[in-house]
Structure 1
């Protein structure tokens, strides 16, 4: 009898603890910060490249030789390419524009292949798009955004082309508003748009770090506030003087192996503030060396991060670890100066069918915390975002998540199917309990010049406590785990002055020059106690 009773007691406690553990785990997941929402069920294409325009629309791009998408071009509009192995007559869209307000999708016509191309917004708000594969290798394209009821479309330039073919290259806008185009597969040079007389200029650094698995592709390029470029490829970085076309400093190698395509880490430059003399670069995650060569899908990714003061006299990497190993993660600068790390996988490498174990948990990187306390785990998503996924900051403070097509063509009957859904992740600062301290920008100049002192009027439900920040965030071109041209600049501000009825005026000083903030359109955020407003678009121009 005692034996039977003991067995029943054991079974009771087993089920009790199992239920308790399961409930606790679910509760813990539910209590993690941040929320997810479905924005669009079917975007028509799986976005490999994504950019947000000043009209609050989103440009999404795939490659042209990928077969039928799930969005037709307007009747009578087709692309003809006798070299296309899948469709010689292609009447499907491979680029679309999403209206964030109406959530409507409009197909765009693009003629040449944008597979693994690069991009950057010009000072007038036009998206410059360069390179790709096959007939797109030397191509230059432009998209001039328009209001939601407009009919703007891609224009492919016929009178000018890239000097060198650019497949897996990186673009970065410069202080004068021109764009440098760095690297590419079998292309260890840089060139510029508008084109310069010297054409393409050799950058031996890219050749020096090239290896058998091409870890120098999609180099991480950041414009520092001293006007030089921080260029990172494989596991090394240089300080590059783009005016003199020479390397002026070699940084120490970053431990942990290669980080660029196809090893699939990510990088961001932290917010610029104060006197703008200091720039800090962070590089996180990556695949184990050899995973790409061996086509290993189950080799664990690593989760190490390096952080370096790129403008320091003797810079060294400070190392720390994320909560998860991650490849193909996207690092998004939030309006607060924190960094969201999202998307990707925990094993394998970049490439078709080469990643596994999706990393569904976003991380929040808090730069001002000490080592060991910087990473916070956030609410997990449910949609695997593998190869060819993107993440972009929206003017309302959410982060738009698109893409994932780890296949040569569109495939929906796979373990990780081609993903046409578009989601948005809302950081904790958008939670309902913070709505009373969320500022609203009531008035701000549409155009400011370098060094201008200007005033911003805003309203807040609860009284302002402390300093209200004004931060300028760029609109980068997101692709392959790196946001080209991403930047956040914190303006010098004066204390908010009450203006009656919950309104305040904040005195601001614009960035001093194009080295701190290149000319162009920025999302201007007011940030009150860590909660950002909906941004207003401001054009920053030279005097």
Structure 2
């Protein structure tokens, strides 16, 4: 924990260290009391994004659905989608997907052919967004988006004509696997898994999905997390298993989580807590928060109170059971976002009702910060509120600057702007307290780094630190997930093994930090990751590093 010395001659270096420590503590206390802030990124991106993903160029891909008539943005150059199967506009000249550039505020319409309503997706090893399923003519489709720089501006969606999915995938979840392929899990009335690219044979039956199928269908959008041993943690409704997808075997079944249903349409959320090199990636924990009461979707007029608890499961414990905690606010339809300081932001949603058109009331405007490393009873903190309700079909995604992009919300079948909760076209950024300018004197900047690294590879990152005390610098990797319906598919965070920083140039504050990349694809599947440097848990802006096999 050595500090850089601020006094080279005369006076007392020890006093300088103490003074700087006091400065750090004062800054943290001031910023913590503020609880973060909000910034409007765009007044109108043209669509209500129910599916959102951040590319390795920093742009944001947003998707709504076709079959709903006009959006608020047209396709360029007179282009139209001529689809006789469209339920509203067989000739549709409106965009239902856009690319948004947070730094410039620019919006670029994209062309999507088939219906993407309640679909799933994930980025592959080369940065391509692979997108599966949907509804109507899109229910078996596989689509791809290969990102390009903003200056290029020609990339667009491509849809595979063949092969297509074996099963109808509406409300399914995807997970990138260590071999670079994808597994697609479940869907409405679909109790199977399959792979992309499709493998020989049919979709494979997964008993869990049928066993937990209640009268509301609370097994949709199951929570799927890749474990460090290569198996999958799959959670549906209130039950969870370790699934060996290679042999189609359930390796382990966990106790049922107490309380309400947690998956769609009851809409809790889940994250795999950060994996850390410091313990050899052996400690594996799942966090599940919120949800709606059983019956809230089937009987929406009752507007039942949402859940106010989180369950934490230490999967790596042979005797694992759920440890329950109480959130400050009831919440269904919340999104959970892993932050570079290893906290979790719980954001969006409502305190009564469930997912569905007009099925919820009392939007939760306050994000909640969850610190998994704090003692029980002191992990939650309520943050500054937004003024924009974000309920059904809203999303939240981490941006490379460390902020959380918040988009979407449409509680209506069509685009509606004359109701209490209108279709939401605004895009905001929630800025956690570590983004405060009061902490800029601690903020590290990565100025040189490798663009690609292999597994178990030692590599060096050049970091400039302000003229301030520094802790041993942390380096963390964060994936870019596909976010929809309160679950971020493929979200994971890896805390790297880092050696003490080596001072290279005192005048500029330049350090070289040597670290080791993740050892296997089970820890971090090959893909693009945001690499953050942190000083006293204050992150700088991330750079994109590709992990290659």
Per the TM superposition, whether the score is higher than 0.5 is yes
Residue 297 (structure 1) shift: 5.5
Match of 1:338 among 334, 343, 349: 343
Q: Secondary structure at the match of 2:137?
A: helix
Residue 31 (structure 1) shift: 4.9
Q: Which residue is 1:272 aligned to?
A: 275
Residue 85 (structure 1) shift: 2.5
Q: Which residue is 1:299 aligned to?
A: 304
Q: Which residue is 1:458 aligned to?
A: 463
Match of 1:238 among 237, 241, 245: 241
Match of 2:477 among 472, 477, 502: 472
Query: Following the alignment from structure 2 to structure 1, what is the Cα–Cα distance between the partners of residues 191 and 109?
Result: 35
Q: Which residue is 2:543 aligned to?
A: 536
Q: Which residue is 1:22 aligned to?
A: none
Contact between 1:220 and 1:232, CA under 8 Å: does it hold in 2?
yes
Contact between 1:117 and 1:132, CA under 8 Å: does it hold in 2?
yes
Q: Which residue is 1:510 aligned to?
A: 517
Matched, 1:321 2:364: no
Q: Secondary structure at the match of 2:193?
A: strand
Q: Secondary structure at the match of 1:302?
A: coil
Which string of whole-angstrom CA distances, capped at 9 and with x for unpartnered residues, describes residues 158-194 of structure 1?
Answer: 1210000100000000111111000001110000011
Which string of whole-angstrom CA distances, capped at 9 and with x for unpartnered residues, describes residues 264-313 of structure 1?
Answer: 10000110002011210000001111111112362111111100011221
Cα 1:464–1:538, aligned 2, differ >3 Å: closer, same or farther?
farther
Contact between 1:32 and 1:377, CA under 8 Å: does it hold in 2?
no
Query: Following the alignment from structure 1 to structure 2, what is the Cα–Cα distance between the partners of residues 243 and 539?
Result: 26
Q: Which residue is 1:250 aligned to?
A: 253
Contact between 1:437 and 1:461, CA under 8 Å: does it hold in 2?
yes
Match of 1:196 among 174, 196, 199: 199
Q: Secondary structure at the match of 1:164?
A: coil
Q: Which residue is 1:9 aligned to?
A: none
Q: Which residue is 2:185 aligned to?
A: 182
Q: Which residue is 1:123 aligned to?
A: 125
Residue 198 (structure 1) shift: 3.0
Q: Which residue is 1:526 aligned to?
A: 533
Query: Following the alignment from structure 1 to structure 2, what is the Cα–Cα distance between the partners of residues 415 and 389?
Result: 16
Cα 1:32–1:179, aligned 2, differ >3 Å: closer, same or farther?
same
Query: Following the alignment from structure 1 to structure 2, what is the Cα–Cα distance between the partners of residues 531 and 139?
Result: 42
Contact between 1:297 and 1:355, CA under 8 Å: does it hold in 2?
no
Q: Which residue is 1:51 aligned to?
A: 53
Query: Following the alignment from structure 2 to structure 1, what is the Cα–Cα distance between the partners of residues 412 and 321?
Result: 39
Flag as ranges the 4+ runs of structure 1 deviating above 6 A.
none
Match of 2:380 among 365, 370, 375: 375
Contact between 2:338 and 2:493, CA under 8 Å: does it hold in 1?
yes
Residue 30 (structure 1) shift: 11
Q: Secondary structure at the match of 1:107?
A: strand
Residue 336 (structure 1) shift: 1.1
Residue 74 (structure 1) shift: 1.1
Residue 221 (structure 1) shift: 0.3
Q: Which residue is 2:69 aligned to?
A: 67
Contact between 1:225 and 1:278, CA under 8 Å: does it hold in 2?
no
Residue 76 (structure 1) shift: 2.8
Query: Following the alignment from structure 1 to structure 2, what is the Cα–Cα distance between the partners of residues 221 and 265?
Result: 13
Query: Following the alignment from structure 1 to structure 2, what is the Cα–Cα distance between the partners of residues 445 and 465?
Result: 23
Contact between 2:179 and 2:521, CA under 8 Å: does it hold in 1?
yes
Alignment of 1:137-156 (within 5 A): 137-150=139-152, 151-156=154-159
Contact between 2:529 and 2:547, CA under 8 Å: does it hold in 1?
yes
Alignment of 1:156-235 (within 5 A): 156-235=159-238
Q: Secondary structure at the match of 2:57?
A: coil
Q: Secondary structure at the match of 1:387?
A: coil
Contact between 1:297 and 1:356, CA under 8 Å: does it hold in 2?
no
Residue 59 (structure 1) shift: 0.2
Residue 490 (structure 1) shift: 0.5
Matched, 1:490 2:489: no
Residue 372 (structure 1) shift: 1.1
Q: Which residue is 1:311 aligned to?
A: 316
Contact between 1:455 and 1:505, CA under 8 Å: does it hold in 2?
yes
Query: Following the alignment from structure 1 to structure 2, what is the Cα–Cα distance between the partners of residues 383 and 476?
Result: 23
Q: Secondary structure at the match of 1:435?
A: helix
Uncovered stretches (5+) of structure 2, i.e. residues with no partner: 1-29
Query: Following the alignment from structure 2 to structure 1, what is the Cα–Cα distance between the partners of residues 119 and 350?
Result: 22
Q: How many residues align?
A: 515
Query: Following the alignment from structure 1 to structure 2, what is the Cα–Cα distance between the partners of residues 93 and 67?
Result: 10
TM normalised by structure 1 equals 0.93
Alignment of 1:18-57 (within 5 A): 31-57=33-59
Query: Following the alignment from structure 1 to structure 2, what is the Cα–Cα distance between the partners of residues 323 and 379?
Result: 13
Query: Following the alignment from structure 2 to structure 1, what is the Cα–Cα distance between the partners of residues 103 and 464?
Result: 23
Query: Following the alignment from structure 2 to structure 1, what is the Cα–Cα distance between the partners of residues 31 and 340?
Result: 25
Residue 463 (structure 1) shift: 3.8
Query: Following the alignment from structure 2 to structure 1, what is the Cα–Cα distance between the partners of residues 34 and 415?
Result: 34
Q: Which residue is 1:449 aligned to?
A: 454
Which string of whole-angstrom CA distances, capped at 9 and with x for unpartnered residues, describes residues 394-453 of structure 1?
Answer: 000010000000100000101100000000010000111100110000111000000000
Q: Which residue is 1:3 aligned to?
A: none
Alignment of 1:334-373 (within 5 A): 334-373=339-378
Query: Following the alignment from structure 2 to structure 1, what is the Cα–Cα distance between the partners of residues 202 and 524?
Result: 26
Q: Secondary structure at the match of 1:436?
A: helix
Uncovered stretches (5+) of structure 1, i.e. residues with no partner: 1-27
Residue 29 (structure 1) shift: 13
